[in-house]
């Protein structure tokens, strides 16, 4: 098991993209959203990993709004990425150009026939985001290969401390109802659900600054 003293939280860099994509692909393999996006279980892990490579590589990592936990588990090897979080800050609108550049890759990944349906689903969920400035926790995942090591909590606390420092609320969407209790422990409250015609129910949560 990973030692607490061996874990480090830091900002992810471009060199970390393979590790970030890999750990998030594992973490979200059985998530309702990715079961809907990629129903074939034989292809899901590779496609979920690629989806997070697109998210992290085109948008979050280049602009510095991502964090990871790495663990030094074997003295003879380098550190291993065991968790990652992707954030956007209050008032952020810098994702449009990145979204356009990544668009052909998303069409290829989900399939041109399904892409309009997927786009409608994400637009329906995004329409419910708070109007007030807020930090948005886009993705938080920990490696299921090393469960119950506190990696997700470590990442979340780091982000919440930053939000509290500037007095901003934190917003998130989760499509997995099993996550609600975890986030509630950190002060999040369920504020709404989105039952879109396509895709899984989205549970929307908000945390006011401490």
SS3 label, residue 90: coil
pLDDT score, position 94: 66
Supply the pLDDT for residue 78: 76
Average pLDDT over residues 104-118: 96
Query: Regarding the domain with residue range 4-207, which homologous superfamily does it belong to in the CATH classification?
Result: Gcn5-related N-acetyltransferase (GNAT) (3.40.630.30)
Sign of CA dihedral 161, 130, 136, 180: positive
* Nearest one of 68, 62, 30, 60 to 48, comparing CA atoms: 30
Number of H helices, E strands in the chain: 7, 7
Q: Would you state the pLDDT for residue 110?
A: 96
Q: Is the pLDDT of residue 26 over 50?
A: yes
Which DSSP helix (H) or strand (E) runs through 41?
helix 41-55
Where in the chain are the domains?
4-207
Q: Structure pTM?
A: 0.92
């Amino acid at each position: 098991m990973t030692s607490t003293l061996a874990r480090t939280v830091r900002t992810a860099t471009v060199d970390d993209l393979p590790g970030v994509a890999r750990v998030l692909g594992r973490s979200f393999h059985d998530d309702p959203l990715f079961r809907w996006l990629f129903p074939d279980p034989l292809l899901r892990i590779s496609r979920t990993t690629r989806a997070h490579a697109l998210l992290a590589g085109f948008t979050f990592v280049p602009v510095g709004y991502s964090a990871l936990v790495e663990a030094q588990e074997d003295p003879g090897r380098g550190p291993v990425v065991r968790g990652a979080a992707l954030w956007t800050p209050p008032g952020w609108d810098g994702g449009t150009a990145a979204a356009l550049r990544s668009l052909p890759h998303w069409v290829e990944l989900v399939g041109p026939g399904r892409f309009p349906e997927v786009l409608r689903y994400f637009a329906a969920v995004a329409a419910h985001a708070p109007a007030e400035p807020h930090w948005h926790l886009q993705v938080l995942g920990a490696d299921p290969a090393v469960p119950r090591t506190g990696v997700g909590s470590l990442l979340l606390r780091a982000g919440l401390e930053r939000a509290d420092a500037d007095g901003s609320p934190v917003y998130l969407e989760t499509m997995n109802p099993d996550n609600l209790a975890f986030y509630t422990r950190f002060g999040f409250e369920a504020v709404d659900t989105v039952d879109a015609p396509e895709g899984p129910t989205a549970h929307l949560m908000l945390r006011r600054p401490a």
